[in-house]
Amino acid sequence: MRPGGEVSAKMLTPDLAFERCANAAAAAAKTFPAFISYHVSTHVSAPSLHRRRDVLRHVDVRTADDTAVIQDLPQGRNVLGRGFPITPAFDALSYFTLSWRVGFHMEMSSDVHDVTPMTFDDPTKSTADVVVFRLLQYRAEYANDSSDAPAGKTHITFVPFDFVKRAVKKPDSTFFLSDVIIDNATDLPSTVRFAGGSDISFVVDYGTLAGHWLVQHAHYEETLHGPLRVGLLHVVADASYDDFSFPAQPPDPRLR
């Protein structure tokens, strides 16, 4: 869709545009450097309590298995864990499980695991006269600000079908794909958004540095419920990444 809502005759269906983006992301994930070092500043807050905390860390991560050496800055603890809060080598267009916890004292832990790349066969390569492609769990549409300009951004919105939502066993801890914004020059996602129960919002923003497609910002928020759903606490975690480097050798002996 061109700016202003005009549809291009040459535009792919939103389903197919998403498929190509997911395939591009899966291919990019195969080319991540073996090691990534970075600095991450994570702002954690509970607005209703007027409580906030900044978590500053230097992280060295081995991308093959997301094993990381985490240094609390300026001179805090040094531990072995997972890329905090999520590894820059995370492909949000994959099947995954997110564990993200913000405690009452603004302490924070996070972990992305069971990551399986999402890939599709390209129906445009079929010899059939008519090819129909449809996402099985979502209704996909182009947003009004979507553009098919070569230097523009394609914006696809997603709404899960009712039968999918009804099948969820834990609606308060489940989120669904909401928006994907694609860089038309690369077919890679620049922003991936999820939304779900308990006011969950999970957003991952990407950028390209030294030819590598990497997470450069992540945002998570949700409303925590007390026993029997008594009491509410809305918590937010917002992480910005910088100072990237790509060591050729393990930057720490524990990553060998």
pLDDT-derived band at 203, boundaries 50, 70, 90 = very high
Give the pLDDT score at 130. 47
**What residues are paired with 203 via a beta bridge?**
193, 219
> Quick check: is 117 in a domain?
yes
> Quick check: is 247 in a domain?
yes
More confident residue, 80 or 228: 80
**Segment 171-191 mean pLDDT:** 94
Residue 99's nearest CA partner among 236, 228, 244, 220 is 220
pLDDT tens readout for residues 10-52: 468 899 999 999 999 999 999 999 999 999 999 999 998 899 9
What is the reported pTM? 0.89
> Quick check: is 200 in a domain?
yes
Q: What is the DSSP letter of 12?
A: P
Instruction: Mark 16-54 as b/e (b = at least 16 C-beta within 10 Å).
Output: bbbbbbbbbbbebbeebbebbbbbbebebbbeeeeeeee
> Quick check: is 77 in a domain?
yes
Q: Give residue for tokens 């549409």.
A: 141
Which structure tokens are listed for 45?
């807050």
Least reliable range by pLDDT among 1-5, 9-13, 89-93, 132-136: 1-5
> Quick check: is 8 in a domain?
no
**Segment 204-232 mean pLDDT:** 87
For the chain, the maximum distance between any two Cα atoms, rounded to a whole number of angstroms, is: 64
pLDDT tens readout for residues 118-139: 998 865 565 544 444 557 789 9
Q: Is it the case that residue 152 has pLDDT exceeding 70?
A: yes
> Quick check: is 194 in a domain?
yes
> In which domain, by residue range, is 163 found?
14-255
Is the bond preceding residue 247 a cis peptide, omega within 30 degrees? no
Q: Is it the case that residue 4 has pLDDT exceeding 50?
A: no
> Quick check: is 238 in a domain?
yes
8 A C-beta contact, residue 198 and residue 225: yes
> Quick check: is 6 in a domain?
no
CA distances from 113 to 56, 68, 94, 100, 134 (A): 23, 14, 11, 11, 27
Q: Count the domains in the chain.
A: 1
